[in-house]
């Protein structure tokens, strides 16, 4: 049991929104995510690219879901919409029942910072900053006082098995360690939803398995909803639900395993 991915303990935060809670749907919030007719067309240099044609997707609190599909099929475009990093050309998107496409940019980034943690294939860490400084960044945006930032960044890094790497910079760590820093950063404001775009894409299989183990424990033990994009069938098969995208439309959806009534995914 020396594997950091399986030793990890992340403290629950019962206050976080978007979290699977007892009563879930009975509590008046029907779905975590409800997208209807999501369409995204990029217009550049007089050329229109339909990245998403029309996607309907309903995701419940507490799901652990994989989005798969070939390169260029629209996976990252969909993730950007789900994560409020982008707006659809048309269609509606409800996050916890709220139409986020109608929010101002400021309100949208507040929703994002408070409720969603992002993890990317290439980590997106600040290269000159230490692990701890990288993890502190979202808390600076959230206005968390310095002393608390110091404590939480240390605790989060310890929780992903990096208590011995607090002052290391990204180029002094392995890919797997960098991705664990990125996950610590994604979790530091206690989001109820993690969006990860090919999080194991740049990692060897052992590091990839550790990262997947972290996500699985977050989902099972903390009730955090996890949506990840992957090319790797071994990653997809560890998820409860798989959605396949091709040419900007959903071509297969294995369906939610979360019951319609009762508590969310975590037991």
Ligand X SMILES: Nc1ncnc2c1ncn2[C@@H]1O[C@H](COP(=O)(O)OP(=O)(O)O)[C@@H](O)[C@H]1O
The residues binding ligand X (CB under 6 A) are 42, 44, 49, 51, 69, 71-77
| Backbone phi, psi, residue 211, to 5° | -65, -45
Q: Which is nearer to ligand X, 10 or 226 (CB)?
A: 226
What is the distance between the alpha carbons of residues 181 and 227, in angstroms, rounded to a whole number? 19
Residue 69 interface partner, choices Mg ion, ligand X, none, CB cut-off 5-8 Å depending on type: ligand X
* Residue from 162, 228, 224 nearest 189 by CA: 224
Q: Which is nearer to ligand X, 231 or 238 (CB)?
A: 231
Q: What sign has the CA pseudo-torsion 102, 110, 125, 237?
A: negative
Q: Which is nearer to Mg ion, 177 or 197 (CB)?
A: 197
Number of residues located near Mg ion, criterion CB under 5 A: 2
Say if CB 104 and CB 63 are below 8 A apart: no
Residue 44 interface partner, choices Mg ion, ligand X, none, CB cut-off 5-8 Å depending on type: ligand X
Minimum CB separation of residue 37 from ligand X in Å reads: 17
Minimum CB separation of residue 248 from ligand X in Å reads: 7
Minimum CB separation of residue 198 from Mg ion in Å reads: 6
Does 76 help bind Mg ion (rule: CB under 5 A)? yes
Where do we find the tokens 């989001």? 191
- Segment interacting with Mg ion (CB under 5 A) among 14-22, 57-65, 70-78, 133-141: 70-78
Q: What sign has the CA pseudo-torsion 223, 218, 88, 85?
A: positive
Q: Which is nearer to ligand X, 8 or 73 (CB)?
A: 73
Residue 73 interface partner, choices Mg ion, ligand X, none, CB cut-off 5-8 Å depending on type: ligand X
Say if CB 60 and CB 24 are below 8 A apart: yes
Nearest-5° angle of CA 202, CA 243, CA 112?
70
Say if CB 186 and CB 117 are below 8 A apart: yes
- Segment interacting with Mg ion (CB under 5 A) among 32-40, 67-75, 151-159, 255-263: 67-75
**Residues constituting the chain:** 267
Minimum CB separation of residue 75 from ligand X in Å reads: 3
3-state secondary structure at position 220: helix
Contact residues: Mg ion, CB under 5 A: 75-76
């Amino acid at each position: 049991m020396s594997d950091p991915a399986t030793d990890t303990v992340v403290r629950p935060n019962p206050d976080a929104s978007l979290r699977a809670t007892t009563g879930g749907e009975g509590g008046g919030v029907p779905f975590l995510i409800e997208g209807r007719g999501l369409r995204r067309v990029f217009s550049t240099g007089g050329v229109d690219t339909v990245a998403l044609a029309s996607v309907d997707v309903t995701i419940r609190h507490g799901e652990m879901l994989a989005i798969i599909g070939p390169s260029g099929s629209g996976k990252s475009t969909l993730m950007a919409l789900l994560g409020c990093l982008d707006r659809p050309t048309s269609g509606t998107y409800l996050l916890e029942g709220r139409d986020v496409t109608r929010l101002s940019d400021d309100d949208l980034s507040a929703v994002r910072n408070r409720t969603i943690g992002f993890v990317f294939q290439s980590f997106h860490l600040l290269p000159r900053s230490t692990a701890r400084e990288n993890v502190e960044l979202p808390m600076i945006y959230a206005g968390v006082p310095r002393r608390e930032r110091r404590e939480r960044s240390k605790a989060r890094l310890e929780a992903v098995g990096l208590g011995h790497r607090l002052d290391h910079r990204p180029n002094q760590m392995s890919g797997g360690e960098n991705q664990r820093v990125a996950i610590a950063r994604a979790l530091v404001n206690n989001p109820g939803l993690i969006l990860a775009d090919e999080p194991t894409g740049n990692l060897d299989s052992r590091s990839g398995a550790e990262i997947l183990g972290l996500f699985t424990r977050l989902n099972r033990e903390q009730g955090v909803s996890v949506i990840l994009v992957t090319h790797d069938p071994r990653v997809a098969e560890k998820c409860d639900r798989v959605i396949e995208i091709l040419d900007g439309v959903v071509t297969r959806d294995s369906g939610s395993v979360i019951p319609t009534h009762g508590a969310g995914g975590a037991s």
